[in-house]
Amino acid sequence: MAKNKQTTENTANKKSFLNSFKKSNQSLEFYDASAMFIAQFILQYMLQLVMVLLASSILAYKLGVQISSKEGADAVQNAFDVFTASTGGIILVTLLNECTMILSPLCYWKIKSFNVFKGMGFKRKINGGQIALTLPIAIGLLAGFMPLASLFVYLVNLTGYHYTGANIVVDSFGKLVLYLIFVAAVPAVCEETLHRGIVARGGSRISIFAGIILSSTIFAFMHGSPMQLIHQFFVGAVCCLVYYMTGSIWANILVHFFNNAITLISGYAIYLITGSTDLSIPWWGMLILCIGGLAILVGCFIAVYKISYAKRKKEDDAMGIEQEQEVIYTGKKQPIKIFNKKLAYLFKSPEQVLEEKKQAQELEDQLKDYSEEKKEVYASLRQDDDVQLKKKNSRGIIFALVVVLVIWIINTIVGYTS
C-alpha cells in the first residue's frame, strides 16, 4: 500500500515538473484517432440498430402482422429489404452512417476539450493547379485499380460469397442528382474528415508512410465487405497522398467526390445506352484501362508534388522561413525515410512551422534558468514521455485494427451463410 502511494506521488511530481515548462499546443496522436474511430463504429452500429428496430415496428404495424411469428417476421424482413434497396432507404442509411463520422470527433472535442478539427486542413488554401488535378487523379484511380478490384471480386464470387450490400442502380436523372448529393458528396466530406483528417493525420505523427498504410487499411476494412476491399484500399491510399502533398483536406475531398461521382454518372450513361447497368469489358480492355490509369495517376502525382512544393517554397519565402538543411539518409530504409521527410515538409503548414519554432525558442529560453542537473532530469522525463506515447499509439493501432477486422470477418461470414 505504501509502495503504491509512493509511486503515485513520484508520478505526480514528474508531471508537476514537466508542467512547469511551457507546453506546446496539443497535437493529434494516433491513439486519439483510434479512440474516435472506434467511437464512430459504436455510434454507427447503435444508430443502425435503432433504425432496424424502429423500421421493423412501423412495418409490422402497417402490414398488420406480429414480428414474434415466423410469417410476420419474414414479411417484415422482406418489406425492410425492399425499403433499404429503394432510393429513400439508401439515402437514409448513408446519412445515418456518415453523420457518425462527424459526431464522433465532435464528442471527443467536447469530452477532451481538444479541438481535433484544428489543423485538419480546412483553412489551408489550394491553388488552381492542385484543384485541376483532382479530377484526372480520380479518373486514373478508377481506371488503374478497377481491373484489380474486379478480378478480386470475381475470385471472391467463386468462393460462394453473397454480397448483401446496397446495389445502387441509377436509372433516372432524378436519382442521379440525389445520389450525387447524398452518395457522392456527403460521404466524401464525412469519410475524408474522419479517415484522412483524423486517422491519417494521427498516423502521420508516427510517419507519413505509416499514416497511409493505417488509414487505407482501416478505410478498406471499415466498408465491411470483401467486394469493396481492394478498391477502397487504393481510394484511401490515393486520398492520403493528395492530403499529405497539399496539406488541405479539400483536395482529397474533391478526389473522393469525383471517384464516387464518376461511378454514378458512368452507371447512368451505361443504362441510357444499353438499358442495363452491367457492362462487360474483355480482359485486354481491362489491361489497357489498368496501364492507362496507372500512367495518368503517376503523372498527376508528379505534377501535384511539383506544384505543391513550388507553392510551399513561395509561402516560406513570404513568411521568412529558412529552408532546413537537406538530411542524407543511408541504409535499407533510405527511400522510405526520404519519402516521409519530403511529404512531411509539404503536409506541415508554414504557420505550424513558425509556431513550433516559437515554442522551441520559448522552451530554450526557459531552460536557461535551470541548472544542468534539472536540464538532464527534464530530458530524461521527456524521453520517458516519448516511450509512453509510443506505447499508447501502438495500443491504438492494435485496438483500431482488431475492431475493424472483427466486424469485417463477421460481415464476411454472414455473406457466406446468407
Residue-level pLDDT at 359: 84
Tell me the C-alpha distance between 138 and 255, whole Å.
5
Residue-level pLDDT at 15: 57
| Concatenated DSSP letters of 286-330 | HHHHHHHHHHHHHHHHHHHHHHHHHHHHHHHHHTTPPPPPPPPP-
Q: What is the pTM of this model?
A: 0.91
Q: Is residue 114 part of a domain?
A: no
Tens-digit pLDDT profile for residues 282-299: 889 899 999 999 999 999
Tens-digit pLDDT profile for residues 4-62: 555 555 555 555 655 655 455 678 999 999 999 999 989 998 999 999 999 999 999 89
222 vs 20, which has greater pLDDT? 222
Q: Is residue 3 part of a domain?
A: no
Q: Is residue 21 part of a domain?
A: no
Residue-level pLDDT at 95: 94
Q: Is the pLDDT of residue 104 over 90?
A: yes
Tell me the C-alpha distance between 22 and 222, whole Å.
39
Residue-level pLDDT at 24: 52
Determine the average pLDDT of the residues in 225-229.
88
When computed from its CA atoms, the radius of gyration of the chain, rounded to whole angstroms, is 25
Tell me the C-alpha distance between 238 and 234, whole Å.
6
Tell me the C-alpha distance between 62 and 59, whole Å.
5
Beta carbons of 251 and 130 less than 8 angstroms apart: yes
Q: Is residue 22 part of a domain?
A: no
Q: Is residue 263 part of a domain?
A: yes
Determine the average pLDDT of the residues in 178-194.
96
Residue-level pLDDT at 7: 54
The domain total for the chain is 1
Q: Please give the residue range of the domain that contains residue 268.
A: 121-318+390-417
Q: Is residue 100 part of a domain?
A: no
Q: Is residue 53 part of a domain?
A: no
Tell me the C-alpha distance between 23 and 4, whole Å.
28
Q: Is residue 48 part of a domain?
A: no
Residue-level pLDDT at 23: 52
